[in-house]
Amino acid sequence: MPAKASKATPILLVAEEAWKEIAAGLSAPARRFAETHGFEGKSGKVLAVPDAEGRIEAVLFGTGKDSGLAENPFLAGKLPAELPAGRYRLEGTLARPDLVALAFRLGGYRFDRFKEMERPSASLDLPKGVDAGLLDALADGVILGRDLINRPANDLGTGELAEAAKALAAKHGAKLREITGDALLKKGFPLIHAVGRAAENPPRLIDFRWGDPSDPAVTLVGKGVIFDTGGLNLKPDNSMLLMKKDMGGAATALAAASILMALNAKIRLRVLLPMAENAVSGNAFRPGDILRSRKGLTVEIGNTDAEGRLILADALALADEDKPDLLIDYATLTGAARVALGPDLPPFYTDDDALAEQIAAAGTRSSDPVWRLPLWKPYSAMIESKSADINNAGVGGFAGSVTAALFLKRFVTETKSYAHFDIYGWVPSAKPGRPEGGEPQAARLTAELVISRFGRR
């Protein structure tokens, strides 16, 4: 970054109530230009104003009633696409300069793997007090997650997703093992194998470890269904269009791991990624099948489109055998979660009240919001089976996100601090700092939670 901030064009944060005072400090040409364009500090309005020689004197950025971007620091993510090429600095009191800088960085993201796109070329001098290393770690992790979720299934099969995990593990010196295809049966992962056995892309389990063995153990598990047809309970075409993002849980786990390793978190990290494609062929698993899980619990298949919880069950059982200090899973698991809370607010589930408070606080601090829903035990009756220990889909159609979380909880019996995130993994319409497309929801929250709980080396 250039050393002389004075050469950067100022971006003035303008709340509506402060506009008259700020306008008075502009040159006469700049003030007249702003008045001609009706600028009043309305939220999200961006206007470059000229000096007497026609050069940009400043950029006015309206924050509405949100003085200092205290309520919505990610509004700054709108700036990169609206600014001319050049170098800029923010002027004004920022409530969270770190989040504003992150929003600016992420607002320049474009998924251009298959199409040429013009990337914003505006750069921002870091606001005072912002940790450049932390900013880079957060931005790189989110971009990794976005890139993975945005890739279509013909470009990102189980093998390619595994390669992305291997590249991340190698970058940070993590030790990795991979179990593929029929070897999953020999190693004790029958549910992962059953879900993925019908596909050309073989099912896999990635397991990598990083950190000092004497540090607290943190395990992240991510659902990696690279495409979900629904299996023999075939989805309708409109429900299948976005199923490339059904590996969003795995992408989120990798994004969170990327951030934590880059920040040298004082933890012993383990990442488990069960991967499969839920396809249709003659050997696809069927409704009514009864499968034995790694944990020994038998599972009746009530619906082949409830496959994500099956591959997670085997991976969670493996994670639970280690009894980590903290276990978190991420999954694009249920439409019911979207009906309840919409696409921007993923629910999370935990029996640990102290952990729940820490998660909620970390979500607020990181502007990565989530909302706790209950592991309501009476609803366990909905996933009972007459022929097996548990049914993967249950009956009734109510409380789908809750019953899915209750299903997963059956496979975590030894770990005290466990949380499940039912994420959407997608931004359906563009927002500042969050372009339409893949989004590793709860990854930044996880980094905030883990660092605040265990620290950095």
pLDDT in tens, 282-310: 999 999 999 999 999 999 999 999 999 99
Residue-range domain boundaries for the chain: 5-130, 135-454
Q: How far is CA 309 from CA 64, 90, 224, 332, 334, in A?
A: 43, 45, 11, 10, 10
Check pLDDT > 80 for residue 3: no
- Who's near 382: CB < 8 A, 6+ residues apart? 394, 395, 396, 398, 399, 403
431, 106 Cβ separation under 8 angstroms: no
Write phi, then psi, for 101 (nearest 5 degrees). -65, -40
Give the DSSP letter of residue 357.
H
Cα gap 83→54, rounded to integer Å: 16
- For domain 135-454, the CATH class is alpha beta
The pLDDT confidence band at residue 5, using thresholds 50, 70 and 90, is very low
Equal fold, 5-130 vs 135-454: no
Amino acid at 5: A
Check pLDDT > 60 for residue 4: no
Buried b (16+ CB within 10 A) or exposed e, 300-320: bbbebbbbbbbbbbbbbbbbb
pLDDT in tens, 381-395: 999 999 999 999 978
Q: How far is CA 53 from CA 49, 57, 86, 129, 331, in A?
A: 11, 9, 18, 34, 55
Cα gap 184→192, rounded to integer Å: 7
What is the share, in percent, of the chain residues with pLDDT greater than 70?
Answer: 99
The pLDDT confidence band at residue 6, using thresholds 50, 70 and 90, is low
Q: What stretch of H or E contains 300?
A: strand 298-300
CATH architecture of 5-130: 3-Layer(aba) Sandwich (3.40)
Quick one: average pLDDT of 140-150?
98
Cα gap 295→47, rounded to integer Å: 60
pLDDT in tens, 214-227: 999 999 999 999 99
Cα gap 419→139, rounded to integer Å: 24
Q: Which residues are marked as active site?
A: 235, 309
